[in-house]
Amino acid sequence: MFINGKWEKAEDNAQFEVFNPATGEMITRVADAGPRDISRAIDAADQAFPAWSALTAFQRSQYLYLAWQLMMEKKEDLARIMTMEQGKPLKAARNEVQYGADFLLWFAEEAKRVYGQTIPSARPDQRFMVLKQPIGVVGAVTPWNYPVSMITRKLAPALAAGCTAVLKPAEATPLCAVEMFKIFEQAGIPAGVVNLLTKLDPKPVGQAFVSDPRVKKLTFTGSTQVGKFLGREAAGHMKRISLELGGHAPFILFDDADPVHAAKGAVLVKFLNTGQACISPNRIFVPRSMVEDFTREFVQRVKAMKAGNGMDDGVRIGPLVGADALAKVENQVKDALDKGARLLAGGERLTQDRLERGWFYAPTVLTGVTPDMLIYREETFGPVAPVIAYGPEEDVVEMANDTVYGLAAYVYTKSISRAMSAFERLHFGIIGINDINPTSASAPFGGMKESGMGREGAREGIEEYLETKLGGFSI
**Kind and range of the H or E element at 125?**
none
Using CA atoms, how far residue 109 sits from 63, 74, 114, 397, in Å, is 11, 22, 10, 38
Catalytic residue among 96, 110, 179, 244: 244
Q: State the Cα–Cα distance between residues 368 and 392, nearest whole angstrom.
A: 17
Q: Is-catalytic flag, 163?
A: no
Q: Fill in the DSSP letter of residue 189.
A: P
Provide the edge-to-edge strand list for the sheet that holds 117-119.
Answer: 117-119, 126-134, 466-474
Q: Is-catalytic flag, 356?
A: no
Catalytic residue among 96, 110, 179, 278: 278
Using CA atoms, how far residue 424 sits from 75, 184, 298, 301, in Å, is 38, 41, 28, 32
Q: State the Cα–Cα distance between residues 171 and 156, nearest whole angstrom.
A: 21
DSSP lists the bridge partners of residue 31 as 15
Residue 433: strand, helix, or coil: strand
Q: State the Cα–Cα distance between residues 144 and 155, nearest whole angstrom.
A: 16
Q: Which residues contact 343 (CB under 8 A, 6 or more apart)?
A: 333, 337, 364, 365, 366
Residue 367: strand, helix, or coil: strand
Q: Please name which of 401, 403, 375 lies closest in space to residue 388, comparing C-alpha atoms.
A: 375
How far from the centroid of its chain's Cα atoms is residue 359's Cα? 21
Q: Please name which of 301, 300, 318 lies closest in space to residue 309, comparing C-alpha atoms.
A: 318
Phi and psi (nearest 5°) for 326? -65, -45
E strands along 254-396, which residues? Answer: 281-287, 306-307, 315-317, 342-345, 364-367, 384-390
Give me the active site residues, please. Answer: 244, 278
